[in-house]
Structure 1
C-alpha cells in the first residue's frame, strides 16, 4: 500500500506533489509519519513534505473529533450517560485513556491506532474536545517531524553510497 501511495505522489506534477502528500496523510494508518516519509522519498523538500503531511493528518483528525463530539452530544442529549459494550481495541484504548489521560494517549496512542480513531474515541469517552485537538496536533507534529527526519537521514545515507 505504501508503494502505491508513493507512486501516486511521485506521479503528480512537481508543483502538486505536496497536495498528494496532504491527501495521503489524511488516510488513517498513513498519517503524518508515513506521509512525511513518502514526501521526502519522492523528492519533496523535507520542510514541504513534513508540513503537508502534518496539515493533511490534522485536517482529517479534526473531522473525526468534531464528528465524535457531535455524535456524543446527540446520544447524551436527554438520556444521561450511555454505556455501550466496548470492542477489545476500544477497551484497550479506554484503559490507556484512564491511565495516561489525553496527553499520553495522544502521544503514545499512534503506536496502537491512528490519530483519527484515538481522537474520536477520547472525545466519545468524555475528554475535552479542545484538549484532544491540542494534544493530537502536538502528537501529529512530533511524529511527522520525527519520521520526516528519519526518512531524510535514510535518503542522505543512501546517497553517500
Structure 2
C-alpha cells in the first residue's frame, strides 16, 4: 500500500508526468482520493521548490553545458513566453500545469526575471488548485461511471 503512494509521490515529482496524469491514475486504481491529492501535491512541490531554490546553480550549470552550442527554443519555451506576455507570472503559473508543466513554468518564470518568493507563492497556489481539481474531477467522474 505504501508503495502505491510512493509511486504517486515519485510520479508527481517527475516533470512531464506530474499531477494531471498521476492523480487520476492513483484515484482510478482505487487509492484514497484525499491521500492521492496530498501526496501528489507534495511530490510535485518538492521538485518545483528545489528547482526554484537551486535556480542560480542550475542556470550556471546549463550555461556552461551549452557554451558554444546553437540554442533553439523549444515549443514549450515559446508557449511559456506567450503565457508570460499575456497573463504575467500568476497566469503563467496557474496555466502551467495543464499547458507546459509546473517545472517548465517555474523555470521559465525565473528565467524571465520573476522573484523566487513570488514564483514559490504562485507555484504553491497553482499546484494545490490543480491537484484538487484533478482529484475532485476524477473522483466525481469515476464515481459517475461506477454507479449503478
**Is TM (by shorter chain) over 0.5?**
yes
CA radius of gyration, larger in:
1
2:28 counterpart (33, 41, 45): 41
Moved over 6 A (4+): none
Cα offset, 1:88, TM superposition: 4.6
Is the contact made by 1:36 and 1:144 (CA closer than 8 Å) also made in structure 2? yes
Q: Structure 1 length as normaliser, TM-score?
A: 0.76
Q: Is the 8 A contact 2:20 2:98 kept in 1?
A: no
CA distance in 2, matches of 1:85, 1:30: 24
Query: What's the offset of the Cα at 1:89?
Result: 3.4
The 8 Å contact of residues 32 and 141 in structure 1, kept in 2 or not, is answered as no
In the alignment, which residue of structure 2 is the partner of 1:54?
41
Kindly indicate whether the alpha-carbon contact (under 8 Å) linking 2:79 and 2:100 is maintained by their aligned counterparts in 1: no
CA distance in 2, matches of 1:89, 1:47: 31
Q: Structure 1 stretches of 5 or more lacking a match?
A: 1-13, 76-83
CA-to-aligned-CA distance 1:52-103 (integer Å, 9 cap, x gap): 111111112112223323344789xxxxxxxx87445323322321331111
Q: TM-score normalised to the size of structure 2?
A: 0.82
Q: What is the aligned counterpart of 1:112 among 99, 108, 115?
A: 99
1:73/1:15 CA distance change after superposition, 3 Å: closer
| Aligned length, in residue pairs | 141
Q: Secondary structure at the match of 1:44?
A: coil
| Structure 2 Cα separation of the partners of residues 132 and 69 of structure 1 | 14
Match of 2:11 in 1: 24
Root mean square deviation of aligned Cα: 2.3
Query: Alignment partner for residue 139 of structure 1, among 119, 126, 131?
Result: 126
- The 1:44–1:88 alpha-carbon spacing in structure 2 relative to 1, beyond 3 Å, is closer
Q: 1:157 to 1:120 in 2, by over 3 A?
A: same
The gaps in structure 2 that reach 5 residues or longer are 63-70
Partner residue, 1:149: 136
